[in-house]
Amino acid sequence: MGGSERKILSVYGRVLANDNALFWSLQLFGWTGISLLTYLSLSVPYDQYELAYLAHNISQSVVGLVISIPLRPTFQAVWNWTFLPRMFVVLGAAIVSALVWAALRLILFMLMTGESGLWPDFGGWLFPSMFVFFTWAALYHGIKYYQLLQREREVLLRVESLQRQEALKLAQAESDARNAQLALLRYQLNPHFLFNTLNSVNALINKVKPIKRQR
């Protein structure tokens, strides 16, 4: 692995470990992607290559990014609520954000391109706006649950590692205790062995002495 790849992986790891860095990275990536997708799906098929349409394409993503920022603290505030109240707030916030974004997109489009009388088509602007913000809310919760699972997994791995360390320490302590017992037994047996050896030598000496006297 080259140095550049290691740097990229290091930066990637720091971004994943930092909630704020991850949030803003995904925000910039997501809204840039929406801008590019809008350009390819609307501007190109309708031959809208004028600067006004391109500027609107970029500006609507900027506005969407700004509108989506309050969603994060809102979702964080209700994260520990029970399911139904939390989903009510999440869906309500997504719908309100979609309504505001659709209206601002339409107003900006008419102001920047000079087109008018487009309010009857508001529903066509609202539907993709709701899709975008529902997707935003779903991705936010999906990432949060994934992070929770990862953190729980890390906690379990740490607990398992501590348990293994404690088991190794216990096994080492038991081994040390057995070694101490064996050493104690050796210390207890050695004097007896020496005493028995001395008795045997003494017995041999006593047997040899009468033989010498008989000579």
93 phi and psi, to 5 degrees?
Answer: -65, -40
pLDDT for 174 equals 84
3-state secondary structure 105-125: HHHHHHHHHCCCCCHHHHHHH
- Binned average pLDDT, 10 residues per bin, the chain of 215 residues: 55 64 94 90 77 90 96 95 94 97 95 90 93 96 91 87 86 82 68 63 65 49
pLDDT of residue 4: 59
Amino acid at 90: V
Here the contacts of 186-193 (C-beta below 8 Å, separation 24 or greater) are none
Structure confidence at residue 197 (pLDDT)? 65
Tokens coding 72:
């994060």
Q: How far apart are CA 24 and CA 52, in angstroms?
A: 27
The DSSP secondary structure of 124-182, one letter per residue, reads: HHHHHHHHHHHHHHHHHHHHHHHHHHHHHHHHHHHHHHHHHHHHHHHHHHHHHHHHHHH
Q: Tokens representing 12?
A: 């990637």
pLDDT of res. 32: 94
Structural contact between residues 94 and 67, judged by C-beta atoms closer than 8 angstroms: no
